Amino acid sequence: MFELKNAGKEFQQRWLFKNLNLTAHAGDFISILGPSGCGKSTLLRILSGLDTVSEGSFSTSSQDPSGFVFQESCLLPWLNVFENVALGATQRQGRDSHAAITKILEVVKLTDAAQLFPRQLSGGMKMRVSIARALVNNKKILFMDEPFAALDDFTRFELQDELLEYWRQYNMTIFFVTHSLSESVFLSQKLWLFPQGQQKTFQEWVLEKPSTAANSYRNSAEYFQTVTTVTEHLRVKK
């Protein structure tokens, strides 16, 4: 579905990454991790078509509609919740558009907030609006750039659970940039790990996860063991 071959990206006379060979398939949930400034967000923009590689190639066979969720909710303050979500409904008109927006507001638990303005919303509600705007019109691919980084843990855990439910319910493909190893292990099927410390090469880590409910997995021994294993793998050796 998405393929990078010997891909590299140069930015301000330095290489963010070189020789990337990666493949993603329909239905994948992939987290992209690495230290600040390593090129995580740039890779996400390349995958979404908002940027290009400097060398090598990037190709995609997907014709599915996609949405982008940023770290900031990026809501227009003069529009209410319904109107902000409507900005993502560019392919629909009239009654169909109204029905699609109403449905997605119900999915993200914002039906009662449809007429509120951004200044009246909590951080978690703003992020739900941003996600709803990306999901409306049955988007099948989500590109997410640290969407939960600024949220408190309670809200973050709640939105993580909901995101997994969207992914399963709508059979989506998700690329998710995060600084949090524990968040990436909880959410993802695969980790794409940028080099850090003495690690010299970009790595892909496939996660073997039980088919349990989100909350059950979050509190399971398997989850904590996987976080520990990946952490030890990435630890800088003295």
pLDDT at 5: 94
Phi, psi (5° rounding) for residue 179? -95, -10
Tens digits of residue pLDDT in 225-235: 989 988 887 76
Q: What is the pTM of this model?
A: 0.87
Tens digits of residue pLDDT in 92-118: 444 568 888 998 898 888 999 999 999
pLDDT at 97: 80
Q: Are 32 and 43 in contact (CB under 8 A)?
A: yes
Kindly report the number of other CB atoms within 10 A of residue 148's CB atom. 25
What is the C-alpha to C-alpha distance for residues 82 and 87, in angstroms, rounded to an integer? 9
Q: Are 148 and 183 in contact (CB under 8 A)?
A: yes
Nearest to 108 by CA among 70, 80, 135: 135
Tens digits of residue pLDDT in 203-233: 888 988 776 667 788 888 888 998 998 888 7
pLDDT at 92: 47
Tens digits of residue pLDDT in 5-20: 999 898 888 888 888 8
Mean pLDDT for the chain overall:
86
Tens digits of residue pLDDT in 175-203: 999 988 999 999 999 999 887 655 567 88
What is the C-alpha to C-alpha distance for residues 90 and 112, in angstroms, rounded to an integer? 23
Tens digits of residue pLDDT in 117-176: 999 999 889 989 998 898 887 778 999 999 888 888 888 888 898 889 889 888 899 999
Arithmetic mean of pLDDT, 53-63: 90
191 three-class SS: strand
- Whether 77 has a pLDDT exceeding 90, the answer reads yes
What is the C-alpha to C-alpha distance for residues 202 and 140, in angstroms, rounded to an integer? 27
Domain map (residue ranges) of the chain: 75-138
pLDDT at 32: 94
